[in-house]
Chains A and B, each alone.
Chain A
Amino acid sequence: MKSLRAEHNRLSDSHEQIAQLETGIHENDPFRLVPFQQKLEKIGMYPLRPTGVNILQINMGKMCNQVCAHCHVDAGPDRKEIMTKDIMNYCIDVIKNNEDITTVDLTGGAPEMNPDFIWFVEKIKETNPRVHIIVRCNLTIIVANKKYYGLPEFYKKHGLEVVSSLPFYTKDRTDRQRGNGVFEDSIKALKMLNDVGYGVDGSGLVLNLVYNPAGAFLPPAQDALEKEFKQSLQKDFGISFNNLFAITNLPISRYLDYLIKSGNYERYMEKLVAAFNPAAAANVMCRNTVSVGWDGELYDCDFNQMLELKTDTSHQHISSFNKTELNTRNIVINQHCYGCTAGAGSSCGGAVT
Chain B
Amino acid sequence: MANHYYNAEDLAKFGNIGEHGKKLADKFFDWYGTVFADGALTAKEKSLIALAVAHAVQCPYCIDAYSSDAYEKGYSQEQMMEAVHVAASIKGGAALVHGVQMMNKVKEIAM
Give the complex CA separation of A213 and B44 in angstroms: 16
Is B61 located at the chain interface by the 8 A CB criterion? Answer: no
Chain A residues within an 8 Å CB radius of B38:
224
User: In residues 180-205 of chain A, which contact B (Cβ within 8 Å)?
Assistant: none
Contact B43 A224 (CB under 8 A): yes
Is B68 located at the chain interface by the 8 A CB criterion? Answer: yes
Q: From residue B24, how far is it (CB to closest CB) to chain A in Å? A: 23
Contact A217 B44 (CB under 8 A): no
Chain B residues within an 8 Å CB radius of A221:
43
How does the 8 Å CB contact mask read for B10-44 relative to A, with 1 for contact and 0 for none?
A: 00100000000000000000000000001000111
Chain B residues within an 8 Å CB radius of A224:
38, 42-44, 73
Q: For residue A228, which residue of chain B has the nearest CB? A: B74
Contact A172 B76 (CB under 8 A): yes
Q: For residue B78, which residue of chain A has the nearest CB? A: A172
User: In residues 87-130 of chain A, which contact B (Cβ within 8 Å)?
Assistant: none
Q: From residue A216, how far is it (CB to closest CB) to chain B in Å? A: 9
Give the complex CA separation of A168 and B75 in angstroms: 11
Q: From residue B2, how far is it (CB to closest CB) to chain A in Å? A: 19
Is B82 located at the chain interface by the 8 A CB criterion? Answer: no
- A224-B38, A224-B42, A224-B44 in contact; A217/B72 too (CB < 8 A)? yes
Contact B74 A168 (CB under 8 A): yes
How does the 8 Å CB contact mask read for A217-244 relative to B, with 1 for contact and 0 for none?
A: 1111100110010000000000000000
User: In residues 139-173 of chain A, which contact B (Cβ within 8 Å)?
Assistant: 168, 170, 172
The 8 Å CB contact of B73, one of A172, A220, A270, is A220
Is A349 located at the chain interface by the 8 A CB criterion? Answer: no
Chain A residues within an 8 Å CB radius of B43:
221, 224
Is A215 located at the chain interface by the 8 A CB criterion? Answer: yes
Give the complex CA separation of A220 and B48 in angstroms: 14
The 8 Å CB contact of A170, one of B12, B42, B72, B76, is B76
- A224-B38, A224-B43, A224-B44 in contact; A217/B74 too (CB < 8 A)? no
Q: From residue A219, how far is it (CB to closest CB) to chain B in Å? A: 8
Q: From residue B66, how far is it (CB to closest CB) to chain A in Å? A: 13
Give the complex CA separation of A172 and B71 in angstroms: 13
Q: For residue B44, which residue of chain A has the nearest CB? A: A224
Interface centre among A168, A218, A224, A274 (most CB of B within 10 A): A224
User: In residues 37-89 of chain A, which contact B (Cβ within 8 Å)?
Assistant: none
23 contacts between A and B (CB under 8 A): A168-B74, A170-B76, A172-B76, A213-B72, A215-B71, A217-B68, A217-B71, A217-B72, A218-B72, A219-B72, A220-B44, A220-B72, A220-B73, A220-B74, A221-B43, A224-B42, A224-B43, A224-B73, A225-B74, A228-B44, A228-B74, A270-B12, A274-B12
Which A residues contact B (CB, under 8 angstroms)?
168, 170, 172, 213, 215, 217-221, 224-225, 228, 270, 274
* 8 A-B pairs closest in CB distance: A217-B72, A220-B73, A220-B72, A217-B68, A224-B44, A228-B74, A224-B42, A220-B74
